[in-house]
Amino acid sequence: MSDNSIASESGGALTGLRVLDLTGRMGGYCGRLLANLGAEVILIEPPEGDSLRRQGPFKNDVPHPEGSLAFAAYHTNKRGISLDLESEQGRKALLELARHADVLMVTGPVTKNMREALERTYAAMPDPKWVIAVGDCAKDGGCFKGSYACCAGVSSVLPVDLHVPGCPPNPTELLKGLLALLEAGTKRG
């Protein structure tokens, strides 16, 4: 991932905002837009790396985790860290990152296994803080709603400041959502 200093130096509309990207593919593009607007976006990847790292096409047609053009398309201008959120050390590292974050971006339904980590992450964030739920599954659990492992949407666990609709959200909806976030930030500031 590239250093975000170029976006920050340009004085983008979101310069000074730190975003934790826990979204995966569906929210990856939303995070990229935030980064392009100057926010410092930190992609949290599992130890094996984001699944997009294994998806082609690849640079020079050579499959390699650092050569996926699909990964680059979704995660340009972001910083990244690999954390094992199943381990105590990984959870502690996430909480430390959260202590310096302004925005928590989540896609998909909240599972019972991730509920506590999500609540702890949110609690560790300083005020003011925003939660962005990206996609219909993040809103209400989508097709997973009512399943044993699913708690429902993000709003069943955390207060959601912005919901970007769609499955997946189209770029127009993402941009509308980001404009709403900018407007909300202006009112808070």
Q: Cα separation of 142 and 154, whole Å?
A: 11
pLDDT at 3 (0 to 100)? 42
> Domains of the chain: which residue ranges?
5-188
Longest dimension (CA), the chain: 48
pLDDT at 87 (0 to 100)? 87
Helix (H, G, I), strand (E, B) or coil at 145: coil
Which portions of the chain are predicted below pLDDT 70? 1-10, 26, 185-189
pLDDT at 10 (0 to 100)? 57
Neighbour count for residue 112 (Cβ, 10 Å): 11
Q: Cα separation of 103 and 21, whole Å?
A: 9
What is the tens place of the pLDDT at every residue in 93-121? 999 999 999 989 888 888 888 888 889 89
pLDDT at 57 (0 to 100)? 95
CATH superfamily, region 5-188: Crotonobetainyl-coa:carnitine coa-transferase; domain 1 (3.40.50.10540)
Chain centroid to CA 186 = 21
